[in-house]
Amino acid sequence: MTKPLTQENRNSVKEAVESALERYQLYVLLLDEDVMPKVTQSFSLIPPTKTNEFYSSTEHAAVENIEKKKQYGEYIEQMRKAINKLSEQERAIIIQRYLTEGDTFDYQVYNELSLSERQYYRIKSKAIHKLAFILQL
């Protein structure tokens, strides 16, 4: 059963959702970035082990890239599904306010969507709380 929302809970829920949306933006940007393999030779004071196992920094970097890309892709897909569960107005507010490039301010979004300030904040608050519930934040 869910707890009643106090002002403190509302603020922490809003921060958690905004953090998740920021992470989504970063993952979209990072999905195309690659971890570069180490090309230069490295020296260590610890003697190498004789286990007959082959270690390649290039292979290690490739495996890391694949794992990170998979992780980023799963997170991005989870966020897309959650955002698509919102109503059309809620989705428009979240996308325009948090997922567009550059700094978009609340007043720009509610003017663009032809909403009153009060109506905008009500819809935005509802959307944030729905996302928190869907994402289990």
pLDDT at 11: 87
| Mean pLDDT on 119-124 | 96
Q: What sign does the dihedral 95-122-127-13 (CA atoms) show?
A: positive
pLDDT over 60 (residue 45): no
pLDDT over 70 (residue 102): yes
Q: How far is CA 76 from CA 22, 24, 62, 73, 101, in A?
A: 11, 6, 21, 5, 16
pLDDT over 90 (residue 60): no
**Which of 32 and 84 is assigned the larger pLDDT?**
84
Segments making up each domain of the chain, as ranges: 8-34+55-135
pLDDT at 97: 94
Element counts in the chain: helices (H) and strands (E):
5, 0
- Report how far residue 111's alpha carbon sits from residue 106's, in angstroms, rounded to the nearest whole number: 9
**Which of 121 and 52 is assigned the larger pLDDT?**
121
